[in-house]
Amino acid sequence: MSPELARFLQDCEQDFQQALPALCQPPGSDCPAVPGGLAEAGAYSLGNGGKRIRPVLCHAAAAALGAADRTRSAAPAHALELIHTYSLIHDDLPAMDDDDLRRGQPSLHRAYDEATAILVGDGLQARAFEVIAGSDVLDAAQKVAMIGVLARASGMQGMVGGQYIDIHATGTDMDLAALQAMHQLKTGALIRAALALGGIAAGASEAQLRALDDYGRHIGLAFQVVDDILDVDGDPSALGKTGGKDAAANKPTYVKLLGLDGARQEAQQLLQAALTALETFGASADRLRELARYIVERDR
């Protein structure tokens, strides 16, 4: 990772940490207080590190179009992390993936209880749309467009639909096309939304949004391919979650279908396709290029 990318990631993380208290407990005398235990549990999950890839991609997409100070992309970036964190909380539940660890710490339902985990997830999902609607730097048309993009990406046409397919695919065989279709929903939809939200925040043209979506489509799949590789070949202490669970559950994965070497080749091909999608952008998109390489070369 270059020093410039490391600094960009650190700056984005600092921005998020500064916003965290208000995300969990919105300020204002006209806003009823969130019950203390619920706000505390939300902060536990939101503040528990992670790569923040989706909000970082949102900021980088806006920067590629000239909005480099992150002011205009702050609300959608925060909303993306709220949605992503809600999805992880629910994915870890016993009825879903039944994971005890998340980001090296006990999953929320283990640190608290299942009912709290469900309610926190529900609350974070709703809060995401409130954050966009309440932005004072986005105009009404941008807010409406962003809410539509995020709702589709996180709902039954996107992330939720992909999770449903994944759960019911356990113990079955999939060909590459079916596996890619599943992960375009489960993992790729929210990553593509991150690029779209950053583009909308910066006033992207339709052609620019299409290029960002093409980049996001390939890098979203690459992200999942690398996740499958790390589930088999990664260091559990670096991953911060239980390794080998996909294989143990007989889930369809890229490694199962292509083998480790084939999965690595697939990740590289997707990386090159993502970089090609950015050819019409100049140096302002270099952060997106670096992020694509980081996603494919990461060890956690």
pLDDT tens profile 78-131: 999 999 999 999 999 999 988 998 888 999 999 999 999 999 999 999 999 999
Cβ atoms of 125 and 83 within 8 Å: the answer is: yes
Q: Residue 75 and residue 277: Cα distance in Å, rounded?
A: 26
Select from 108, 46, 91, 103 the least CA-distant residue to 241: 103
Q: Residue 59 and residue 72: Cα distance in Å, rounded?
A: 9
What are the residue boundaries of the structural domains of the chain, listed by start? 3-297
The pair of structure tokens assigned to 36 is 């203390």
Residue 236: the pLDDT is 63
- Please name the fold of domain 3-297: Farnesyl Diphosphate Synthase (1.10.600)
Q: Residue 300 and residue 297: Cα distance in Å, rounded?
A: 9
Q: Residue 176 and residue 98: Cα distance in Å, rounded?
A: 26
pLDDT tens profile 14-40: 999 999 999 988 876 566 778 888 999
Select from 178, 121, 199 the least CA-distant residue to 154: 121
- pLDDT > 90 fraction of the chain, expressed in percent and rounded: 75
pLDDT tens profile 268-294: 999 999 999 999 999 999 999 999 999
User: Mean pLDDT across the chain, nearest whole number?
Assistant: 91
Residue 42: the pLDDT is 93
The residue whose two tokens read 């650190």 is 10
Dihedral pair phi/psi, residue 105, rounded to 5°: -125, 160
Q: Which residues pair with 105 in a beta bridge?
A: 102
Residue 2: the pLDDT is 85
Average pLDDT over residues 153-177: 91
CA distances 77 to 15, 195, 249, 280, Å, are 10, 10, 33, 24
Cβ atoms of 270 and 219 within 8 Å: the answer is: yes
pTM of the entire predicted model: 0.92
Banded model confidence at residue 300, pLDDT cuts 50, 70, 90: confident
DSSP 26: -
Banded model confidence at residue 68, pLDDT cuts 50, 70, 90: confident
